[in-house]
Structure 1
Amino acid sequence: MQVLDVSHSPILVFASLLVALMAGFTGLSLTKGLSDRPVAQRKILIVLASIALGGGIWSMHFVAMLGLQLPIQFYYDAAVTLTSALVAILVVGCALLILHFWDRTRSTLVLAGMIVGLGVVAMHYLGMSAMELCQPLYTPAGIALAVVSSCALNIAAFAIAYGKRSQRNIIFGTLFFGFAVFAVHFVAMGGTDFVAIDVLSDVGPLISNEVMAIGVVLSSFVLCGAFLLTGVTFLAPSDAPVDPPAPVPSPEPEQAPDARHPVLQIPYEQEGRTLFIDTNAVAAIRAEGHYTYLYTADEKLFCVWPISEAAKRLAQGPFLRTHRSFLINPAHVTGFERFKDNGVCHFETEHLTKVPVSRSQLKAVRTALGV
């Protein structure tokens, strides 16, 4: 079999890089501040971010494949092509679940980056196997180089984007992620040859380059829309209202708590009534879906505040954030245990004896406890 001459359209190569960058920015922006949201909302946004990142990986691959110029007509198997898209979305979803439901440590960042890195390679070679009337030929060295570069670049992208969830880190993480997906594709293509064959696999219906172009344009259009929406939110100040507030006719409008004055009491629900407890009597606050539980020396009380609201209202009080799901009162801590990248605060309370301390909060907790 004669190896076919291969070339690429520079315009489509550049377009594939733009698609990868838009996908990275959209997915990483959607997950900003996710750890402070309720569990149900977190799951929905992870699904959307997985579709943006995974769909972007798939779109980038096939935009680049549209730019592949061979001296023969070839097609794609529809079933295998769709499977490659689902693989990309699934692996990204697994990585995001790890990052937003496990303690975020160096190990979890490496694990998430490696999962996505292997997923990008799997999606690439699965997408290539969808080619009909044209067979790609790989070399072991080319596959090994694609795997190593994909894992290394994606680990770097997630380490930057999730090391500190700032706008700057998200932008740099976007650049690394976009370049990772782009580079892996062309590193893999550099180790691939093509030969013409006369056999069809008949797994699914055939897709021509023209039909594939329509599908890729549609997926890229949706991605561009999501990119623009997240871009507007990303650039807008987080505390600035989109529209000016409407005037309140009441002579005594309800005011938000003054951030300069600490909240002295926390509301809780008991036997159909709203009661209040002194903040100094509460040892810890734990998130439970859209609500929280207050832990005292001998009670566990239900509070209607979500953990984000509790953190905001108690910012001037004695409480300290130790984990995405916990606030603690350092005055009630009876012991502290440090591990390699995180720690645990111990309490002598009836319903809660340990509270995890995440890596990002470890320094602040140790400073507050004087250890």
Structure 2
Amino acid sequence: MVLEGSYSPWIVLLSILIACGSSYNALSMNERLQYHSFFSKNFWLSLASIAMGTGIWSMHFIGMSAFMLPVRMGFNIPLTILSVLPALCASFLAFYIANLVRRSVLTFILAGSIMGLGIAAMHYMGMAAMEMEARYTYRPLLFTASVLIAVIVSIIALYIFSTLQKYMSNRLVKTATSIIMGLAIASMHYTGMKAIVFYQLEDSVHVHHSPHMNVMMLGIGIGIVVAIFLGLSGLSGVFDKYVNYRFNYIDPLTRLPNRRLFEQSLKADSHQALSIIHLHGLEKWNTGYGYNFGDELISMLAGILKNSAASRAELYRIEGNRFAMLGRPGDLKTIMERAGKAAKEDIIIQEQRAVLEIISVLAEKQPGETAAHLYTNAIAVLHHPSITYMNQIIVYDPSIHTYNLEQKLVMEIDEAMHNGQLYLVYQPKVMPGTGEVHGVEALLRWNHPIYGMLSPALFIPALEKGKKMFDVTDWIIEKVCIQAAVWKKQNRPSAIAVNIPGPYITSPRLVKVLLEGINKNGIEAENIELEITETSVVNHIEQAARSIGEIRSHGFSVALDDFGTGVSSLSYLKLLPITTLKIDKSFVDDVPHSAKDASILEAITALCRSLDLHVVVEGVETREQVEFLMKMSDAAIIQGYFYSAPQTAGAFESWTESFVGGAVPAEVL
């Protein structure tokens, strides 16, 4: 006797919603593969696979709970649990293949087939786990159709997912994709159920009017487990963002904001004064009593500063033995006095008596200066030979402190180049639409043996004033050509941009150095791009145009940097034969919240398209900025901390090996 079953519409709807919701969650987990994260990419791949696999599994059994036959129904629990494995394995392999950098149509067919067969295998294992007072058989055509539906719709869903992966940060696109994937799961399940014929032998008919309670309880239990898992998956994403923020923006020892947040606050140009508190003799304590002792000294000073600052200043730890405060001059001076008084008292650490030897520097914003000058001025005080480290409070005086430091740096630059104190770091430039690394920008760093890491904003103006930047630029070009040759042999991105001082662009010496560099190292001119600022050529625009034309005739690219910060910028696009336009960070900081800045960006990219120019947007640091740039008609090349901070050559090589191309990789930090 053939048995006819019926469905509960509400539970059917619930099963479909769970399939779509699990697919959405899996796509969200997979999305985090595209950027650097506290957790490894395998963690997110596994989590996405578990979300997808358990979604398929739970949808099946909740769908079974919706089906009511007039017989007792139950499940073999071990086989029921085991049936989740095909879905988990298939999901993992499908997501792994779909995330490969090199993909083809065959890739999607393979991944979709694996996913579809995994769905089918899980379904029919689940059916085999049923225990009931009835027998069943399958209609061959519908059975085959159910498997083909699972495979074909999975291929389509994974193709859409992979092709539109750069838009997965858009909730509408991700929702549509998850609905397609959810419907693939549901359509296979209910087609498979349609393929089953339930029957009883007439001599053993036992009719019941409701399913066994175990079926309903199983469905409810699975629903609860899935809800818990979805919640935990969501929390893991929030936790990951929190950990990344703490890891990249907060000093782990003192729990104060670190140098990156300090630099961001400084660039906001909203502060009138800066104070730097320098702890002297830390290396002596570390050597004599160990690094734990030094850490306790740092923590002690941080506690003193926190208590003294309260809420009247922004406090940061900017280096190993330096803190910084931003605020109003009067408030900072009061805090410095309180901290200096507290630091004079003896402290006991690990049964050792110690005295904090600190110097506090106060720099007030001078007329016509921006907040960026505050740091330069404060550092000039710290490097002045007249200071002592016995709890002094020194106010920056431009007539005393600036010239001495600048002169000293100019005198030491040759030694710095020779001894390796001067070195280059590289910041990637990424095409967000394809995930391709377009090239890098070479940036100069100076690790001074006495003063530590010097800010380029400090030493580059000093070298320009001291007429040493031409020599330093020649050194940079030499190092860049050597590095480009190495990366070219390794099949890594080898297009490197070099910043060129304004006056040097018109010197015949520059062309000679460039040609010698590429010929000596066996690279092409296209491997080197020169970056000039619009403000540096404003006074000799016609001569600069002729020089850039000559440089371009040899095959080198030329980029106009910091576009929009000067005057008459549009006229430069007409006069200068450049190949690339770099949009200044100031136009990106408030995007997409500022409609005016957003409109400017869109207008500039449209203009560059008409002029056949590449566009690079600098200083991109947030997910929202990347999403906005990708929505523009012509997505620009992106450079900024969102993808990567400037890094050494070795670190960049490791980064390229682990970087998964995509539109939205790791929020940084």
Normalising by structure 1, report the TM-score.
0.64
CA separation of 1:263 and 1:171: change in aligned 2, threshold 3 A = farther
How far residue 210 of structure 1 moved from its aligned partner, in angstroms, is 4.3
1:132-182 superposed Cα distances (whole Å, 9 cap, x missing partner): 123332111011111111111111111111113213443322111011101
Match of 1:78 in 2: 77
Match of 2:581 in 1: none
Question: Is 2:106 the counterpart of 1:100?
Answer: no
User: 1:282 aligned to 480, 483, 498, which one?
Assistant: 483
Aligned runs of 1:27-176 on 2, under 5 Å?
27-37=26-36, 41-101=40-100, 103-133=102-132, 134-165=134-165, 166=167, 167-168=169-170, 169-176=173-180
1:62-115 superposed Cα distances (whole Å, 9 cap, x missing partner): 111001110011111112111111221111112122233563333222211111
Please list every run of 5 or more consecutive structure 1 residues that lacks an aligned counterpart in the other structure: 199-205, 268-273, 287-291, 299-307, 328-357, 362-371
CA separation of 1:242 and 1:222: change in aligned 2, threshold 3 A = farther
Deviation larger for 129-138 or 156-165: 129-138
Question: Is 2:198 the counterpart of 1:194?
Answer: yes
How far residue 326 of structure 1 moved from its aligned partner, in angstroms, is 8.1
User: 2:225 aligned to 210, 219, 228, which one?
Assistant: 219
Once residues 252 and 258 of structure 1 are traced to their aligned partners in structure 2, the CA distance between those partners, rounded to angstroms, is 28
Question: Is 2:443 the counterpart of 1:264?
Answer: yes
| AA in 2 matched with 1:221 | A
Once residues 40 and 228 of structure 1 are traced to their aligned partners in structure 2, the CA distance between those partners, rounded to angstroms, is 14
Question: Is 2:647 the counterpart of 1:325?
Answer: no
| AA in 2 matched with 1:185 | H
Q: Which has the higher contact order (CA 8 A, sep 6+)?
A: 1
CA separation of 1:282 and 1:313: change in aligned 2, threshold 3 A = farther
**Is contact 1:118–1:147 with CA below 8 Å preserved after alignment?**
yes
CA separation of 1:214 and 1:171: change in aligned 2, threshold 3 A = closer
User: 2:315 aligned to 248, 258, 263, which one?
Assistant: 248
CA separation of 1:70 and 1:99: change in aligned 2, threshold 3 A = same
**Is contact 1:35–1:100 with CA below 8 Å preserved after alignment?**
no
**Is contact 2:7–2:68 with CA below 8 Å preserved after alignment?**
yes
Match of 1:182 in 2: 186
| AA in 2 matched with 1:190 | K
Match of 1:346 in 2: none
**Is contact 2:98–2:158 with CA below 8 Å preserved after alignment?**
no
**Partner SS, residue 75 of structure 1:** strand
In our comparison, the structure showing a higher alpha carbon Rg is 2
Structure with bigger helix share is 2
| AA in 2 matched with 1:193 | V
Match of 2:357 in 1: none
Deviation larger for 168-177 or 70-79: 168-177
CA separation of 1:215 and 1:266: change in aligned 2, threshold 3 A = farther
**Is contact 2:47–2:233 with CA below 8 Å preserved after alignment?**
no
How far residue 24 of structure 1 moved from its aligned partner, in angstroms, is 0.3
**Partner SS, residue 325 of structure 1:** helix
1:279-338 superposed Cα distances (whole Å, 9 cap, x missing partner): 45333769xxxxx999x979xxxxxxxxx97953469xxxx99x97389xxxxxxxxxxx
CA separation of 1:31 and 1:73: change in aligned 2, threshold 3 A = same
**Is contact 2:32–2:44 with CA below 8 Å preserved after alignment?**
no
**Partner SS, residue 75 of structure 2:** strand
Once residues 37 and 7 of structure 2 are traced to their aligned partners in structure 1, the CA distance between those partners, rounded to angstroms, is 46
1:244-276 superposed Cα distances (whole Å, 9 cap, x missing partner): 979434338999x99999442599xxxxxx9x9
**Is contact 1:161–1:172 with CA below 8 Å preserved after alignment?**
no
Once residues 208 and 100 of structure 1 are traced to their aligned partners in structure 2, the CA distance between those partners, rounded to angstroms, is 40
Aligned runs of 1:355-366 on 2, under 5 Å?
none
Once residues 266 and 326 of structure 1 are traced to their aligned partners in structure 2, the CA distance between those partners, rounded to angstroms, is 25
Once residues 237 and 24 of structure 2 are traced to their aligned partners in structure 1, the CA distance between those partners, rounded to angstroms, is 8
CA separation of 1:37 and 1:110: change in aligned 2, threshold 3 A = farther
CA separation of 1:324 and 1:242: change in aligned 2, threshold 3 A = closer
Once residues 186 and 242 of structure 1 are traced to their aligned partners in structure 2, the CA distance between those partners, rounded to angstroms, is 50
**RMSD, aligned α-carbons:** 4.8
Report how many aligned residue pairs link the two structures: 292
How far residue 231 of structure 1 moved from its aligned partner, in angstroms, is 9.0
Please list every run of 5 or more consecutive structure 2 residues that lacks an aligned counterpart in the other structure: 205-211, 251-256, 263-313, 317-322, 327-371, 376-425, 430-439, 447-452, 454-474, 497-520, 523-639, 664-669
| AA in 2 matched with 1:191 | A
Match of 2:506 in 1: none
CA separation of 1:195 and 1:279: change in aligned 2, threshold 3 A = farther
Match of 1:332 in 2: none
User: 2:214 aligned to 205, 208, 218, which one?
Assistant: 208
Question: Is 2:21 the counterpart of 1:22?
Answer: yes
Name the % identity: 25
How far residue 212 of structure 1 moved from its aligned partner, in angstroms, is 1.2
